[in-house]
A and B are shown apart, each in its own frame.
Chain A
Amino acid sequence: MTLVFSQLFTGISIGAVLLLIALGLSLTFGQMNVINMAHGEFIMAGAYTVYVLQQVISGAGVSLLVALPVAFLVAGAMGVVLERLLIRRLYTRRLDTLLVTWGVSLLLQQLARDVFGAPNVQTQAPELLTGSVKILSTGAGDLVLANSRLFILALALLAVAALTLLLRATPLGRRVRAVVQNRDLAAASGIATGRVDRVTFFIGSGLAGVAGVALTLVGPIGPTMGTNIIIDAFLVVVVGGIGQLKGTVIVAFALGMMQSLVEYSTTISVAKVLVFLAIVAFLQWRPQGLFTLRTRSLA
């Protein structure tokens, strides 16, 4: 019983990481239909932000707290630069943005290698987050949850809440949703779509930075840390439905659970293949993802 719970919790925490990463993607992919392969490197930038801050600020807890907004700004700024320099020119060739941003991600990885060195670097986790909480105690064993995982879960949920609030309750959010639903009409009704795009890209990329901060608690920090995880996050967005926040949330956790449960009963490698097959099967049922925007367009 505890085993099932602990697998479930593992799944939830995998899901939380996926969610943090996919949240930003869902925003940029959903609104602008831009597949930003460099999103993984924005995550990396967030993680290195923690590393750099820890050289300056002593105290792992303080530096982590400071890193959250700083990483958001750093990654967000990188996103805006990318949008201004390249992506803006490629709106008519959306598939090509995937390739171009992959080139960018190569450049950023190499930059990280040159600046921080190719080997992974270490950061210190605050004491508060290194321990674990005992949730349940049974004869068969204790169910123990790592604090760091709980922190990531909380962070992911907080990010979802903040983003939902932003989209639902602010004028900016209204404009963003208008552009998502019908770019031409939004433009025609006086919304500066270019500016909305920039802000969206800033927020989406900034969230990658936050995800990067969170990842420092659970994994190594290195130049290629982004590439490995980004594909799963893309799958989350695809399966969740483009531009659909609730789809992204549900699918992130579902995929995390599935990965953890299948992994438990088989092996990691088989789990990957099975999850892929499950996704293909799912798309048979819902080719546009879990939730779709109903539009009259043929595409």
Chain B
Amino acid sequence: MSGESGAGLLIRDLRVVFDGFAAVDGVDIDVPPGDVRFIIGPNGAGKTTLVDAVTGLVKATGSASFGGRELLGRKVHHIARLGIGRTFQTATVFEELTVLQNLDIAAGTGRGPLTMLRRRSGVPPVVAEAMEAIGLTGERDKPAGALAHGRKQWLEIGMLLVQDARLLLLDEPVAGMSQDEREATGELLGLLSRERTVVVIEHDMDFLRRFARTVTVMHAGRKLSEGTVAEVQADPKVQEVYLGHAPTAPDRPGGREGT
């Protein structure tokens, strides 16, 4: 899948080192615009760290650019303003604010001081659309903390929608979801990818087979394999790595330490 892709996510020789340990060890990844790329790999493969590096959370060397603009070295909120949004393994929403308030905040980075100092006097159209898309219109005035786990994940995705991110980095979006919720999330992914580039870190192989367009497999901080789902599954290197852990699907990590 490597090729010329001007406006997508371009990662070159990315390295993240923690105390001498290379969590990400020289990775090259191209995600062309409009792709739905899944990144998989066993625990400790460096998947989340990769996303952390791209979003500015951890320091990295090498290069990561999106839409031709270099991301490394910028501050987190500057990277976000370049149209890069992410979710976290554990849904992180503003628990005490309502669904509407959560989305309104996500939509508001471009607002001037005067708008900020006034009260919200209605529902901005993008927020209404996003609420409809994630199916939370009925729970508009509910505090986000009171939402079910799966719905918090959707709310987080909805926040990316209104944030108008061009590149979405989703860290295990269906973890802990029921089958129906996974289904719905998959459809949401399809909707998202119409105008955006999507990168998903996921362990759920069923989900991957159904919704991935392309897959990158990471192992021990390096890229192991890349291609379509079928190509990757047929790759003997991938089978070798995974068979050591589990025959069909790898375990879910217990938390952030794992990855």
User: How distant is the Cα of A294 from the Cα of B19 in the complex, in angstroms?
Assistant: 8
CB neighbors of A among B228-258 (8 A):
255-257
Contacts of A298 in B (CB 8 A): 57
If A294-B18, A294-B19 touch, does A185 touch B257 (CB 8 Å cutoff)?
Answer: yes
Contacts of A185 in B (CB 8 A): 257
If A294-B18, A294-B19 touch, does A182 touch B57 (CB 8 Å cutoff)?
Answer: no
Expressed in whole angstroms, the minimum distance between the Cβ of B255 and any Cβ of chain A is 8
Residue among B19, B57, B255 with the most chain A CB within 10 A? B255
CB pair A296 B256 closer than 8 Å: yes
Expressed in whole angstroms, the minimum distance between the Cβ of B47 and any Cβ of chain A is 13
User: How distant is the Cα of A150 from the Cα of B18 in the complex, in angstroms?
Assistant: 42
User: How distant is the Cα of A297 from the Cα of B255 in the complex, in angstroms?
Assistant: 11
The size of the chain B interface, using a CB distance under 8 A, is 6
Contacts of A184 in B (CB 8 A): 255
Expressed in whole angstroms, the minimum distance between the Cβ of B240 and any Cβ of chain A is 28
Contacts of A182 in B (CB 8 A): 257
Contact bitstring A282-299, B, C-beta under 8 A = 1, else 0: 000000000000101110
Contacts of A294 in B (CB 8 A): 18-19
User: How distant is the Cα of A297 from the Cα of B18 in the complex, in angstroms?
Assistant: 13
Expressed in whole angstroms, the minimum distance between the Cβ of B251 and any Cβ of chain A is 15
Contacts of B256 in A (CB 8 A): 296-297
Expressed in whole angstroms, the minimum distance between the Cβ of A293 and any Cβ of chain B is 11
Contacts of B255 in A (CB 8 A): 184
Contacts of B19 in A (CB 8 A): 294
The size of the chain A interface, using a CB distance under 8 A, is 7
User: How distant is the Cα of A217 from the Cα of B119 in the complex, in angstroms?
Assistant: 61
Expressed in whole angstroms, the minimum distance between the Cβ of A49 and any Cβ of chain B is 43
Contacts of B257 in A (CB 8 A): 182, 185, 296
User: How distant is the Cα of A248 from the Cα of B180 in the complex, in angstroms?
Assistant: 53
Contacts of A297 in B (CB 8 A): 256
Contacts of A296 in B (CB 8 A): 256-257
CB neighbors of B among A216-244 (8 A):
none
Expressed in whole angstroms, the minimum distance between the Cβ of A298 and any Cβ of chain B is 7
For A182, the closest partner residue in chain B by CB is B257
For B23, the closest partner residue in chain A by CB is A296
Expressed in whole angstroms, the minimum distance between the Cβ of A22 and any Cβ of chain B is 26
Residue among A182, A184, A296, A298 with the most chain B CB within 10 A? A296
Contacts of B57 in A (CB 8 A): 298
For B254, the closest partner residue in chain A by CB is A188
CB neighbors of B among A263-299 (8 A):
294, 296-298
User: How distant is the Cα of A185 from the Cα of B19 in the complex, in angstroms?
Assistant: 20
User: How distant is the Cα of A294 from the Cα of B17 in the complex, in angstroms?
Assistant: 12
Expressed in whole angstroms, the minimum distance between the Cβ of B40 and any Cβ of chain A is 20
User: How distant is the Cα of A184 from the Cα of B256 in the complex, in angstroms?
Assistant: 12
Contact bitstring B173-208, A, C-beta under 8 A = 1, else 0: 000000000000000000000000000000000000
For B256, the closest partner residue in chain A by CB is A296
Contact bitstring A163-186, B, C-beta under 8 A = 1, else 0: 000000000000000000010110
Expressed in whole angstroms, the minimum distance between the Cβ of A215 and any Cβ of chain B is 39
Contact bitstring B16-32, A, C-beta under 8 A = 1, else 0: 00110000000000000
User: How distant is the Cα of A159 from the Cα of B71 in the complex, in angstroms?
Assistant: 48
User: How distant is the Cα of A42 from the Cα of B84 in the complex, in angstroms?
Assistant: 51
Contact bitstring B138-174, A, C-beta under 8 A = 1, else 0: 0000000000000000000000000000000000000
For A188, the closest partner residue in chain B by CB is B254
CB neighbors of B among A151-205 (8 A):
182, 184-185
CB neighbors of A among B50-78 (8 A):
57
User: How distant is the Cα of A185 from the Cα of B257 in the complex, in angstroms?
Assistant: 10
For B18, the closest partner residue in chain A by CB is A294
CB neighbors of B among A94-130 (8 A):
none
Contact bitstring B200-235, A, C-beta under 8 A = 1, else 0: 000000000000000000000000000000000000
User: How distant is the Cα of A150 from the Cα of B21 in the complex, in angstroms?
Assistant: 44
Expressed in whole angstroms, the minimum distance between the Cβ of B139 and any Cβ of chain A is 26
For B48, the closest partner residue in chain A by CB is A296
Expressed in whole angstroms, the minimum distance between the Cβ of B88 and any Cβ of chain A is 9
User: How distant is the Cα of A296 from the Cα of B259 in the complex, in angstroms?
Assistant: 10
User: How distant is the Cα of A255 from the Cα of B256 in the complex, in angstroms?
Assistant: 37
Expressed in whole angstroms, the minimum distance between the Cβ of A187 and any Cβ of chain B is 13
Contacts of B18 in A (CB 8 A): 294
For B88, the closest partner residue in chain A by CB is A298
Expressed in whole angstroms, the minimum distance between the Cβ of B41 and any Cβ of chain A is 17
Expressed in whole angstroms, the minimum distance between the Cβ of B187 and any Cβ of chain A is 30
User: How distant is the Cα of A247 from the Cα of B18 in the complex, in angstroms?
Assistant: 20
User: How distant is the Cα of A182 from the Cα of B255 in the complex, in angstroms?
Assistant: 12
Known pairs A184-B255, A294-B18. 7 more at Cβ < 8 A?
A182-B257, A185-B257, A294-B19, A296-B256, A296-B257, A297-B256, A298-B57
B residues whose Cβ falls under 8 Å from a Cβ of A: 18-19, 57, 255-257
Q: What are 9 A-B contacts defined by CB distance under 8 Å?
A: A182-B257, A184-B255, A185-B257, A294-B18, A294-B19, A296-B256, A296-B257, A297-B256, A298-B57
